Amino acid sequence: MKYFGGSCDVAVIGAGHAGIEAGLAAARLGCRTILFTINMDAVGNCPCNPSIGGTAKGHLVREIDALGGEMGRAADAATIQSRMLNLGKGPAVHSLRAQIDRRLYSQIMKHTLELQPNLLLRQAEIVSLERDGEEWLLTTRMEAQIRAKAVILATGTFLAGRIYVGDVSYESGPDGLFPAAFLSGSLRKLGLSLRRFKTGTPARVLRSSIDFSNLEVQHGDEPPEPFSYDTEPGTVQNKAVCHVSWTNEETKRVILANLDRSPLYGGKIEGVGPRYCLSIEDKIVRFADKERHQLFIEPCGMNTEEMYLQGMSSSLPEDVQIAFYHTIPGLEHVEIMRSAYAIEYDCVDPQQMNATLEFQDLPGLYGAGQFNGSSGYEEAAAQGLIAGINAALHAQHKEPFVLDRASSYIGTLIDDLVTKGVSDPYRMMTSRSEYRLILRQDNADERLTPMGRALGLISDDRWARFQKKEQQKQEERKRVEKTVLPPSDEVNRALEACGASPIRTGARLADLLRRPEVHYASLIAVDPTRPDYPKAVFENVEIELKYAGYIERQRAAVAEMRRLENRTLAPDTDYASITGLRMEAREKLKKVRPSSVGQASRISGVSPADISVLLVWLSQQRGRKEGQA
């Protein structure tokens, strides 16, 4: 017998990384919010790698934090090792990655949710969702019915989840949790187009069974750098080390000899797997000429003996897993605590959504995270934050919030999903952004914190600190442009020490810092007027000086992009009636329903000639309206 279980402004289904950010954002914007989870003890779980950040993903975490999200703060509090990746490359691709204590991270997130005003965290499986007038009606497995003005689907890999290990297959969510077994049917009735994706996770092994004696040790950076602008310097500490090993020809032989027992190659798995996070059997087959593959042995936390084998996901049978792990140096006698597995799940075609992550034909219904066809904790959290903001704005009858490609990696991620769609789990990479030199992690706060403040997600204290930092950056830019260093022996020794040519006349600090070899640290001894500012201030100023020409060119490209974004297209535009559009373009435009010519230009199958036709048509439409007026 169903009963009324209450009402709310925003209901979030799923309390993983997407659901957490969505629930917190909606509640912090003043909405009565309920966050549903199948298992209260799995809130903020990290069922795969025990880390946050990485290439491009670190950018997302910084952007989430700059907008007022939670992931960066929780990651800093749970960090056990921190490293900045790609330091040998340009600043556009520098990305922070933190090894975290996965249980501590989950505890921090759960407690944050419990303490959040306007938010109720509730253990319940949602089994159906239906439209009821202008509201939504959610039904739990316990037959409670809850009304909501807006709903966010953040189901992760739980939606019709199925585990595969060799010949063994069964319904399950990640980490042996219950799946969401009933909701998919309800979503199909609403008209959502679902598909099957799959992902996998490596085995967790017992620390004492690993021989570390001949393994390469991987230390963290000193001092560690935090993700969050709220984290006090010095509070993040390296507490653990990671290790590196390699597969070999014997590993390859064992895997190939048992390939027929893989559900992936046997055709049992229907879902499409991630292109950039391959299982070890996929690596062996696709890169047959490669002699060895790297793996990282990483701790799962400070109060557990579980170790994670990064780079070794698999769906092969347990006995085969044991056999090929034992061929790897350091793992000859390793004991498996949790076997590797593949998981298949339902997700949606994101081209049914607009840039707010709201479904085009279902007002008040939003999607976020792996439900939208993406992969990764960071991609999920970024979408959750935007979905939560927009669900709250929808419930409050306010204008939506949209980030474009030139504002952020978050904007790029969402635009890629809703405009281009996905054929496999989407992973954020720096190469996906055409504006990556102006979308660096060091300037995430400069780009996004004013937006977070305008929304109401940035506190007064945080805003004051941001304004102080921005003022320091401006003052430092002025100082280095007007400060002149004389051609002294001391100055020239400092320049020669870093491989730069000496000066014979006075040189401005700014001109010296524009040299590739010269950095702020190179000039400490000869720069007596250098102020006592945070490291981040100097880092930002130096990057802006060194890459000024490239940055200016990207800003010009952004201006042109935004010119096309301002040429709006109505959602009910009849593309079939526009003379000159190719048939493929008409079909793609009708499906995606772009909000602007800029978005239309990024749809696969829409050519530059089609865009020219659209621009001419829009000009004609505007001329007709002006003539009628």
Fold of 479-552: Arc Repressor Mutant, subunit A (1.10.10)
437 — pLDDT class (breaks 50, 70, 90): very high
Report pLDDT for 620.
87
Share of the chain above pLDDT 70, in %: 99
List of residues 6+ apart from 163 with CB closer than 8 A = 169, 170, 171, 172, 341, 342, 343
Q: What is the pLDDT of residues 153-206, one digit of tens each?
A: 999 999 999 999 999 999 999 999 999 999 999 999 999 999 999 998 999 999
Question: Which ranges of 175-273 would DSSP assign to H, the alpha helix?
Answer: 183-189, 249-257
Confidence of residue 350 (pLDDT cuts 50, 70, 90): very high
% the chain with pLDDT above 90: 90
Q: Which residue has the tokens 């709201």?
A: 358
3-state helix vs strand vs coil in the chain, percent to 5: 40, 20, 40
Helix (H, G, I), strand (E, B) or coil at 416: helix
Residue 499: other Cβ atoms inside 10 A: 11
Torsion over CA: 278, 281, 286, 287 (sign) = positive
Helix ranges restricted to H, 258-376: 280-286, 318-325
- Cα–Cα distance, 123 to 121 (Å, whole number): 7
Residue of 146, 114, 106 lying closest to 129 (CA atoms): 146
Give the CA-trace dihedral at 184, 371, 49, 319, to 10 degrees: 30
Type of residue found at 150: A
- The span from the CA of 84 to the CA of 93, in Å, is 10
pLDDT tens profile 279-314: 999 999 999 999 999 999 999 999 999 999 999 999
Q: How would residue 233 be classed by pLDDT, with cut points 50, 70 and 90?
A: confident
Q: What is residue 159's DSSP assignment? A: B
Q: Phi first, then psi: what are they for 609, rounded to 5°?
A: -65, -40
H helix or E strand, kind and range, residue 492 = helix 489-497
Q: For helices 57-67 and 71-78, what crossing angle results, to 10°?
A: 120
- Which residues neighbour 523 within 8 Å (Cβ) at sequence distance 6 or greater? 485, 494, 509, 512, 513
* Residue-wise pLDDT tens digits, 42-86: 999 999 999 999 999 999 999 999 999 999 999 999 999 999 999
Query: What pLDDT, in 10s, does the model give residues 531-577?
Result: 999 999 999 999 999 999 999 999 999 998 888 888 999 989 999 99
* Signed CA dihedral, 149, 154, 158, 160: sign only: positive
Copy the structure tokens of residue 324: 């090929």
Across 77-208, where does the E strand assignment appear? Answer: 79-85, 95-100, 119-123, 126-132, 135-140, 144-153, 162-165, 168-171, 194-201, 204-206
Q: Where are the domains of the chain?
A: 3-198+345-455, 204-344, 479-552, 566-628
Helices (H), 71-135: 71-78, 102-115
Q: Which fold has domain 566-628?
A: DNA polymerase; domain 1 (1.10.150)
What's the pLDDT at 622? 81
**pLDDT attached to residue 629:** 59
Structure confidence at residue 467 (pLDDT): 98
Tokens 């090792």 — which residue? 81
CB 286 within 8 A of CB 321: no
Burial 42-60 (b: 16+ CB within 10 A, else e): bbbbbbbbbbbbbbbbbbb
Predicted confidence at residue 554, as pLDDT, reads: 93
Q: What is the pLDDT of residue 22?
A: 98
Residue type, 5: G
Q: What is the 3-state secondary structure (H, E, C) of 573-617?
A: CCHHHCCCCCHHHHHHHHHHCCCEHHHHHCCCCCCHHHHHHHHHH
Distances (CA, A) of 148 to 6, 156, 188, 190, 191: 9, 21, 20, 16, 19
Write the pLDDT tens digit of every residue in 361-385: 999 999 999 999 999 999 999 999 9
User: Does the pLDDT of residue 503 top 80, yes or no?
Assistant: yes
Site of tokens 């303490």: 115
**What stretch of H or E contains 399?**
none
Q: What integer is the mean pLDDT of 202-225?
A: 96
Task: Tell me the pLDDT band of 336, cut-offs 50, 70 and 90.
Answer: very high
How much is the average pLDDT of 506-534?
94
Helix (H, G, I), strand (E, B), or coil: what is residue 448? helix
Helix (H) or strand (E) holding 460: helix 460-482
User: By C-alpha distance, which of 621, 624, 623, 616 is closest to 580?
Assistant: 616
Backbone region of residue 168 per phi and psi (left: phi > 0; alpha: psi in -120 to 50; beta: other values): beta
Burial pattern 403-439, b for ≥16 Cβ within 10 A else e, equals bbbbbbbbbbbbbbbbbbbbeebbbbebebbebbbbb
Task: Tell me the pLDDT of the chain averaged across its residues.
Answer: 95
Domain 204-344, CATH number (from 2.40.70.10, 2.40.30.260, 3.20.20.80, 3.40.720.10): 2.40.30.260
Class of domain 3-198+345-455: alpha beta
Q: Which amino acid is at 294?
A: Q
DSSP 334: -
